[in-house]
């Protein structure tokens, strides 16, 4: 008997991804909750097969509480990252301004 397919995996950073792709479960769940059909979601993420999209949705529906907890943790991580990076100087902008001031007459 064949092993059942696993449509999601947790990567080394703790993010849940679909199959062997880099597509986050977060994205599929968000699209599904917004009312997009699996076929439309598949069009938005060409790296996925329709089977993988349905598999990800089935995983979400079978593990709603766990996935919702994961999504809250992801939101907290993103909030922390945004707060941390907002305190950093925008180095690219500063370098461009410095370069412009050097080339100005």
Question: Measuring CA to CA, which residue among 25, 38, 90, 94 is closest to residue 64?
Answer: 25
CATH number of 8-103: 1.10.10.10
Question: Measuring CA to CA, which residue among 7, 22, 13 is closest to residue 78?
Answer: 13
> Residue 10, Cβ neighbours under 10 Å: how many?
11
pLDDT tier, 88 (very low <50, low <70, confident <90, very high otherwise) = low
Residue 87 is classified by DSSP as T
Sequence ranges of the domains in the chain = 8-103
Contact between residue 32 and residue 57 where contact means Cβ atoms under 8 Å apart: yes
pLDDT digits (tens, 9 = 90+) for 2-59: 777 889 999 999 999 999 999 999 999 999 999 999 999 999 999 999 999 999 999 9
pLDDT digits (tens, 9 = 90+) for 43-78: 999 999 999 999 999 999 999 999 999 999 998 888
């Amino acid at each position: 008997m064949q092993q059942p397919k696993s449509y999601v995996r947790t990567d080394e950073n703790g993010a849940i991804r679909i199959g062997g792709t880099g597509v986050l479960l977060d994205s599929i769940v968000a699209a599904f909750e917004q009312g997009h059909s699996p076929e439309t979601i598949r069009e938005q993420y060409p790296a996925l097969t329709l089977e993988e999209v349905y598999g990800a949705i089935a995983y979400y529906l079978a593990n709603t509480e766990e996935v919702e907890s994961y999504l809250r943790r992801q939101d907290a991580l993103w909030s922390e990252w945004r707060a941390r990076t907002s305190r950093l100087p925008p180095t690219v902008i500063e370098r461009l301004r410095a370069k412009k001031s050097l080339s100005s007459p």
